[in-house]
């Protein structure tokens, strides 16, 4: 079947790429593509949020121009994407960035997603990726240790493994529902109960050690997140403290076809509340039919509450 390259069109292609990622998630012996949460999050939160800091080589905080910066960051992200489709108009290959603003440390790092029957496209996909995402004479991509097809090609092309840049996917297998130890002084709540974006962006900022409100997500960037096709307000969870303050947060992304869920992001400012919001997320995912919950982290925190490390990826670099 013939394949053709297309420049990405958000209106036409966002859901087509999303559906390919979902449909082909289990088609490999071990997953090599993104899960749906990362595709949603990269466009609908990472791009508008990181755009707050401008599109220069150094981040700046300028609230007066934050909206325009965010819109341009979304455009920059979308314009860099390349896709391949077959005669049946199925997406069979994608090259996309993650954090794609010039000041960010991983600017120019590309991610390769593909249909399992089109491994022969990897050379062409890499050609496009190298041409589009090379920065300062260097191209970078992240590859799972078990992705032997892609690893064989990059080794032949002279790539080198960056052993210091390691990422881990961890899984919580749901065999029984985790118990809650939340005291009577605290309660669980979702954005479906109270869509308070001001408080939600505050806990996001403070949970990731940003006390300065200028460094929190803007209202626009959080509203963009809520526009993501797979975002659900009832799965955007917080723990509320005695004074009504949000003390921890977690978004659950549910993939009904594959019976999995993913957490992105998780944060807390009160000891013990991170575990509680994660466990509530697991319980809600289980109620929807999820058999396991994933997180893109190998932190000791997750291992201590029952997650297990499953897949490891490394950055591979080619100097051009």
What fold does the segment set 3-168+312-319 form as a domain? Aminopeptidase (3.40.630)
pLDDT tens for each residue of 67-111 = 999 999 999 999 999 999 999 999 999 999 999 999 999 999 999
> Hey, do 3-168+312-319 and 173-310 end up sharing a CATH topology, with the first three levels equal?
yes
Q: Which residues of 29-45 are buried (b: 16+ CB within 10 A; e: fewer)?
A: eebbbbbbbbbbbbbbb
**Residue closest to 305 by CA, chosen among 269, 270, 280:** 280
Position 1 scores a pLDDT of: 77
Q: What is the mean pLDDT of the chain?
A: 96
pLDDT value for 64: 79
279: tokens are 């466990």
pLDDT in tens, 125-154: 999 999 999 998 999 999 999 999 999 999
Rounded to whole angstroms, the Cα distance separating 301 from 219 reads: 30
Domain parsing of the chain, residue ranges: 3-168+312-319, 173-310
Average pLDDT over residues 175-181: 94
For 183-222, the pLDDT digits (tens) are: 999 999 999 999 999 999 999 999 999 999 999 999 999 9
pLDDT per position as a tens digit, 26-50: 999 999 999 999 999 999 999 999 9
Provide the sign of the torsion angle of the four alpha carbons 86, 89, 90, 91, taken in this order.
Answer: positive
CATH homologous superfamily for the domain 173-310: Gcn5-related N-acetyltransferase (GNAT) (3.40.630.30)
Question: Which pair of tokens denotes residue 104?
Answer: 């960010």
């Amino acid at each position: 079947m013939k394949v053709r390259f297309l420049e990405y069109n958000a209106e036409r292609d966002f859901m087509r790429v999303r559906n390919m990622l979902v449909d082909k998630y289990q088609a490999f012996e071990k997953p090599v593509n993104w899960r749906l949460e990362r595709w949603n999050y990269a466009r609908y939160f990472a791009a508008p949020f990181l755009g707050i800091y401008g599109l220069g080589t150094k981040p700046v905080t300028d609230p007066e121009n934050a909206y325009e910066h965010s819109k341009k960051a979304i455009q920059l992200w979308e314009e860099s994407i390349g896709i391949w489709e077959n005669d049946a108009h199925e997406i069979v290959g994608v090259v996309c960035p993650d954090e794609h603003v010039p000041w960010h440390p991983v600017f120019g790092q590309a991610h390769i997603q593909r249909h399992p029957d089109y491994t022969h496209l990897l050379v062409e996909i890499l050609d496009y990726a190298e041409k589009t995402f090379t920065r300062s004479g260097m191209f970078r991509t992240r590859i799972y240790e078990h992705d032997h097809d892609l690893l064989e090609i990059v080794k032949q092309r002279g790539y080198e493994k960056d052993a210091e840049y390691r990422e881990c996917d961890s899984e919580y297998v749901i065999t029984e529902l985790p118990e809650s130890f939340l005291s009577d002084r605290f309660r669980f709540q979702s954005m479906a109960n109270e869509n308070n974006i001001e408080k939600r962006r505050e806990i996001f900022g403070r949970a990731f050690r940003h006390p300065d409100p200028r460094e929190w997500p803007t209202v626009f960037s959080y509203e963009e997140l809520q526009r993501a096709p797979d975002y659900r307000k009832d799965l955007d969870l917080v723990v509320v403290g005695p004074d009504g303050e949000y003390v921890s947060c977690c978004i659950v992304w549910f993939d009904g076809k594959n019976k999995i869920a993913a957490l992105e992001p998780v944060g807390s400012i009160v000891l013990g509340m991170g575990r509680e919001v994660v466990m509530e997320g697991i319980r809600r995912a289980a109620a929807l039919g999820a058999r396991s919950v994933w997180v893109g982290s190998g932190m000791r925190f997750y291992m201590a509450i029952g997650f297990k490390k499953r897949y490891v990826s490394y950055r591979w670099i080619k100097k051009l």
